[in-house]
A = this chain, B = another copy of it.
Amino acid sequence: MFSPLIEELIRALRCLPSVGPKSAQRMAMYLLEKDRDAAELLARSLAQAVEKVGRCQQCRTLTEEAVCTLCNNSRREQTSLCVVETPADVLAIEQAGNYHGRYFVLHGHLSPIDGIGPADLGMDLLERRLASEPLQELIVATNPTVEGEATAQYIAERAKAQGVTVSRIAHGVPIGGELEYIDGGTLAHAFNSRTAFFPPAE
The interface of chain A, by Cβ under 8 A from chain B, is 1-6, 8-9, 11-13, 15-18, 23, 25-33, 35-36, 38-50, 52-53, 62-65, 68-69, 86-88, 90-91, 94-95, 107
Judge whether B65 and A3 touch: CB under 8 Å.
yes
Contacts A5-B53, A46-B31, A49-B32 given; indicate if A41 touches B62 (C-beta within 8 A). no
Partner of A15, one of B23, B35, B69, B88: B35
Q: Please tell me how many copies of the chain the complex holds.
A: 2
Main secondary structure of the interface of A (DSSP, over half): helix
Least CB distance from A44 to B in Å reads 8
Judge whether A3 and B46 touch: CB under 8 Å.
no
